[in-house]
Amino acid sequence: MDLLSLDTWLLPPHNRLSLHQVDRLVSTDAITTGDRTPRVLHVVGSPFDLEASPVTLAPGRETTVHEFLELTNTDAIIVLHEDQVLCEKYFGDNTPQSRHIVMSISKSVCGMVAGILVDEGLLDLDATTVTYIPELEGGSYDGSTVRQLLDMTAAPDFDMTYTDPSTEVQAGDRSAGWRTRRDDDADGTRVFLEGLRGSGDHGSTFQYCSATTDVLAWVLERASGLPYARLVETRLWQHLGAEADALITVDNHGTPYACAGVNMRLRDLARFGRLILDGGRFDGRQVIPEEWIQTTARGGDFDTFSEEEPRPGTYRNQWWVPGDSHGSFYAVGIFGQYLWLDPTTGITIAKFSSEVDPLGHSSEHINALRSIASSAQRLSRTNDSSEGTNK
C-alpha cells in the first residue's frame, strides 16, 4: 500500500520515504546536464571512518559523528577534501542515484545564478522589484530592491511557521502543488505572490521568507528572458560537472518553486559546493563570478538581525555566514539538508536528512558540521603524510 500523498509526504515518518521520491507526488521540470563530462571525484583507497570522530553539538555536549547522524535522521552524507571523497554514506533505501529534495538549499542555487546575471550586466541590484515585475505593484514587495530580495531584507507580511496550515508559507506550498489545494487558494505560485498584501520597512531588518526567493527567481526570469529552470540549466548546472539531471518542482502552470523545489543527487550537491570553493571556476570556465562568491562569504549586515530573533551569523545572497575563524558559509533546508563549505580547510560537506521537526537540530548541525570539517582536515593530512612516507 502506497502511504505517500500530498497530505502526508511532508510529515514524519513519511518524509523518510518521500524526500528522495518527490517526483512521484509533485510535478517536476528537469534541469539537464547536457552532454557535459561529470567532474571526477576521487575515492581514497581506504575511506576514512569519520563516524567514530568526536563532535560537539553544544557546549558541554559531546558525541560522535555516528550518533549525530542517527540523531538527525541522516539519509546520506559526503565529505570532500578538494576533489577527494573522504567519506560517503547512504542510509535506509537512499542510494548514490537517489535524487533528494534539498529544500531551501534551492534558495542558495538561486543566489548564485543571480550573481551570474549581475556579471553579465543583465541584473541591476539597485533596481526595484516592480521594475522587473510590474504585476507586484501595490503588493508586499512594492518598494523593495533586488539587493533586498537577495539578502532577505525585504519585509513582506508573511508567516513562516511551517507547521501551521493558516500561515502564508503553507498557503504558498498549496499554490505550488506541494499540498492539497483549498478552494480559496491562489491558482499557482505567481498568482499567490501577486496576491500578497502588507509589508514593513524594506531594507531595515532581516526577514527570512520563502516567497522572497520566488520573487527573486521571477526577477531573474524577466532579466534573462529565460524560464527559471532553463536559466539554472544553461548558466550553472551544465557547467559544474554534474553527473545527472536535477529536478525542480512546478505548479499547475509550470512555474518552478524556486525557494525549495530543487532535487539532486548527493554527489552533485557536493560538486556545486566544490565549484564555489574553487572560486566559481571549473574545467577552464568561470561559471560563477569569483567576486560574487567572495561577497557572499563575507556575509551581510549584523544590524539587520533583531535581538528578539538571534541568528547564527548573517545572510548574504541567499547563503548563511556564521562568522567563524575558517570563513565558513553554508546553505540549509528544512528537515536537515546542508551544504557546508570551509574555505580554510578545503572541506565540502553535503548532507541529506529527513528530520522529524522541520527546524530540528539547527544549532547542533552547525556545530557538528564544523567539527566534521576539522576532523576531516586532520585525517586528510594524516593520509597525505602516510602516502608521502610510502612513496
Q: Which residues are catalytic?
A: 104
Residue type, 377: Q
Instruction: Judge if the upstream peptide bond of residue 13 is cis by omega within 30 degrees of 0.
Output: yes
Strand partners, 29: 248
User: CA 320 to CA 340: how far, in whole Å?
Assistant: 10
Burial class (CB in 10 A: 0-12, 13-18, 19+), 285: exposed
Helix, strand, or coil (residue 341)? strand
Helices (H) and strands (E) in the chain, counts: 12, 16
Q: Which three cell numbers stand for residue 212?
A: 522572497
Q: Are the beta carbons of 68 and 364 closer than 8 angstroms?
A: yes
Number of CB atoms found within 10 A of residue 257's CB: 26
Strand partners, 199: 156
